[in-house]
Amino acid sequence: MAMYILRIAVPVLSLWKCFYHPLKRKWFWMPIFITFIITADLVVSDISVAIYSYHEGISLRPAYDSMALLSIYIFLPMRNNILVIALGLLVSVVYILVFTFFTYYGDTHIEIVVASDTIFLIGVNLMGIYFRLMNEIVTRRSFLDRRACVESTLRLKFVKDQEERLMLSILPEHIVSKVRQDIRTMFLDIQSQSHTHNMKSFNQLYVEEHKNVSILYADVVNYTKISTTLSPMRMVELLNELFGRFDEASEEYDVLRIKFLGDCYYCVSGVPKPSVLHAKNCVDLGLEMINIIKDVREKRALNIDMRIGVHSGKILSGLIGIRKWQYDIWSRDVTIASKMESTGKAGKVHITKQTLELILDFARDYIIEPNFESQNHPFMIKNKLETYLLSRPQRPFSEYKPFRRASVGFNKIINSRSRTRRSENRNSSNFRRTTFMDENLVEYQQMLKAADAQMAKEIEDMTNGK
């Protein structure tokens, strides 16, 4: 009885998860050691009964030879097939010796009986080897299928993220969220209805009113003239570099770029989230644009400059079109901002009195002068607009004091020295090698690594016989 209790206790304790897994992680050879211990327990507890009975004058055949062999091939955690086969053959030889010298010793037909048991044990070994090989094939196929499934899931997420990024490069995030939700609702309605749905009926208007915002219009001076002297490719490269750097600056200053109109670039601050510094954000962005085009002018030896207009007020923003959406802004204040640009001076930011009143607390950071030339413009007279020209004071960089600006979710300290250094370090020929593609490659590699990590976790969670 004690032998059979030991026979049961040793495998249970050896393969107990809380005991086996920590040891397996600590010592790689632990599965082999556990396999030999359990095999020795099964075989010794079985043949010891037969040997003891032989000395008592009773002839007993070991009853669990096939169970011991099947346990080796099927249940025990040793992974090396060669070691498993060698162990199975060793156990078979032990049983054959016990049959020969104890169980059937003195039997008149011992050769026939031992031969039949030998054939039986060989058959059990062959069956175990066959199971082992087929199980490995199935496991490998399952592993590859599982990896393909995990990789497909991650690839789908990767593609979805790229589509999301592409959408966000065309439309603002708050509009994208509303459009996505409405499209999802529309498809749910289609699924709940038996009849087909007309996709043309999806013409929801996405128009919002925003108060307390500032609008910036920027135009490249002498664009028409240089477009006749530069080749089309160089012209495109020039605009790509300019507008690419403008986009980076607009993100830094919490300003939302609306669109390009030829050589015109216009944007708005205070959308979608309100900002108490919307006027200052636009003014600082305008000054940064002037620095950028100055840098490009010097590097490319081109006679170009920026004319910038800023006005503060309220707007309507939203999508227009059904087949091809386009985000835009409309209002009387938008028209005023456009006129501020067209009546401004190159190299300076042209602002209205409404914008000036919003940046008075930061007036020491700028040179502000009235624009008397624009006062005779019919549009200015009609709308009773007072306008001013704004620029940075020409002081040594060491005298500049950093100023704090609000941004969505965090604050940054920005000064003219850091902006100038950033401009000087840019390589204009490689600057518009888009980070979009670089980030895509990095994310794709991360996706593959995530698939490998997920599969490693799946392997770790497999049974002891992996």
Domains and CATH numbers, the chain: 2-149 (no CATH), 204-433 (3.30.70.1230)
Q: What is the pLDDT of residue 466?
A: 47
Nearest residue to 121 via CA among 100, 136, 105, 137: 100
Dmax (CA) for the chain in angstroms is 132
What mean pLDDT comes out for the span 225-249?
Answer: 89
Helix axes 30-55, 2-14, angle to 10 degrees: 170
* Alpha carbons 369 and 387: distance in angstroms, whole number: 9
* Alpha carbons 116 and 100: distance in angstroms, whole number: 12
Q: What is the pLDDT of residue 86?
A: 93
Q: What is the pLDDT of residue 421?
A: 37
What mean pLDDT comes out for the span 245-270?
Answer: 91
Give backbone dihedrals phi and psi of 231, rounded to 5 degrees, phi first: -70, 155
**180 compared with 2, residue with greater pLDDT:** 180
Least confident of 14-23, 240-249, 379-388, 439-448: 14-23
Q: What is the pLDDT of residue 433?
A: 45
HSE-CB of 95 using CA atoms within 13 angstroms: 33
Neighbours of 99 (CB within 10 A): 24
Q: What is the pLDDT of residue 416?
A: 40
Please report, for residues 105, 185, 206, 325, the alpha-carbon distance to residue 198 in angstroms, rounded to integers and kept in the order given.
90, 14, 20, 18
Is residue 415 within 8 Å of 400, Cβ to Cβ? yes
Q: What is the pLDDT of residue 54?
A: 78
> Which segments of 318-367 does DSSP mark as H helices, in order?
332-342, 353-358
> Any idea what DSSP says for residue 426?
-
pLDDT band at 429 (very low <50, low <70, confident <90, very high): very low
* Alpha carbons 242 and 224: distance in angstroms, whole number: 16
Is residue 350 within 8 Å of 369, Cβ to Cβ? no
The overall average pLDDT reported for the chain is: 79
Peptide bond into 272 cis (omega under 30): yes
| pTM exceeds cut of 0.85 | no
Using a pLDDT cut of 90, give the percent of the chain over it. 33
Going 295 to 301 to 303 to 304, the CA torsion angle's sign is negative
Question: Using only C-alpha atoms, what is the Rg of the chain?
Answer: 40
pLDDT at 127 over 70: yes
What b/e sequence results for 329-340 when a residue is b if at least 16 CB atoms lie within 10 Å of its CB, and e otherwise?
bebebbebbbbb
What mean pLDDT comes out for the span 350-375?
Answer: 92
* Alpha carbons 409 and 405: distance in angstroms, whole number: 12
Nearest residue to 311 via CA among 242, 220, 385: 385
48: exposed, middle or buried (C-beta count within 10 Å: 0-12, 13-18, 19+)? Answer: middle
**159 compared with 209, residue with greater pLDDT:** 209
pLDDT band at 409 (very low <50, low <70, confident <90, very high): very low
pLDDT at 193 over 80: no
